[in-house]
Structure 1
Amino acid sequence: MLIAQMQSLSILLIIDEFMEHIQITESSLDSSLWSSYSDWKEKIRSLPFEEVDAFREKMIKAIREAEKNRDDVPGNDEITITKNNSVKRVEDLLKSREIEAEELEPANRNYKEVIFNAGNTSEEIFDIEERIKDDIILKELKKRKNDEEEFQQEEVIIDGVKYNYNNSQIPSLYLIGFIGLLIVVGIGFLIYKDNARKRRIY
């Protein structure tokens, strides 16, 4: 089992380095190669040992075809490569931050088209990429804040009346209740002592 895992990892690294070397991104490949999996890396990790080599050959073939198609298209130069790499970085950030493209601002949702229409200089491409990445990070922070607020807010129904309170207030509520209990016990003790004194007098 360990040997199979090591071989799968080795093949994964070989394909990844090959794609990086010839500057081909995952978005340039036919995703049907890894259908039912989130990406080709997950498929390699999930395949039985005896099927890994066959899938590696398919990936290498698909990568070479993508390279040929890229080179055959007029104008596919360094700027296009830069745009493809920019798209991949945005996709990686979306995946790592668990944000869907539909959650972004309208101007950023179709990020591939936005990046490819960004202009013909690296500066213009990187400016657009940074704008989209900032949007992703802001959406993640907003989602995290909303999750925290939902956790903190509680609703309690007493005698048919709804009361909303914050979980952060719970310690202070306990303290107030404890102080109230002490006061009640103190008053009861004073009444008891007063009654005892009266009984001694009479």
Structure 2
Amino acid sequence: MRIYTLILICLINIGYSLSIQINNNPTCFYVKSNENHCQLIVNFQVSGMDEDKTEIIIKSENADQLLQKTNGKEGSLKQTLNELGTYFICFRSLNRSYKTVSFDFDLDGDDKEYAQSEQFNQMSKELSRTNRNFQSIYRNQNWITDRENSHKIILENTQNSIYLCGIAKIGVLILITVMQTIFVYKFFKGIDVSSHSSC
């Protein structure tokens, strides 16, 4: 029974874990708060070039900005949602560099769970601790995978740039060689013509 519960918790956590590519335009996700004073926790990590050039905003459906974090490549944002309704989590790149954001969110919040932990029996406490460990493990694996994919794309782009630059250099050298050959040929051909005319 306990194993099935752990598997269910893992599936729920996987469902809340996301990876997105961001640019200068905000990319937003929404969550719905079904109770007052609900704790929202957003864990995130940015992969790619200029990772710290990122902006994260939590705002209400009325576009009221509740929390903003800029120039951070990883961390955790905590915000209390005081009213029922829809709230938005928005990510934006502060420059034009390629970036991938890996994040997950907890709408209930670990803090709320800790506050209620005195009411739990020992098994519930162990299950909660195991759940947090699974969240951390999955989040770290997801971030490592995203970082590797981002670095792979950067390396492929760099390799393509070097390849094109090499082809361009070879083309320029071939062009210079052909032009020099034609120039030398015409030069010596002109000398031969003048020597024949003098005889």
Please report the TM-score for the alignment, with normalisation by the length of structure 1.
0.38
Larger Rg: 1
Structure with more of its chain in helix, by fraction: 1
Higher share in strand: 2
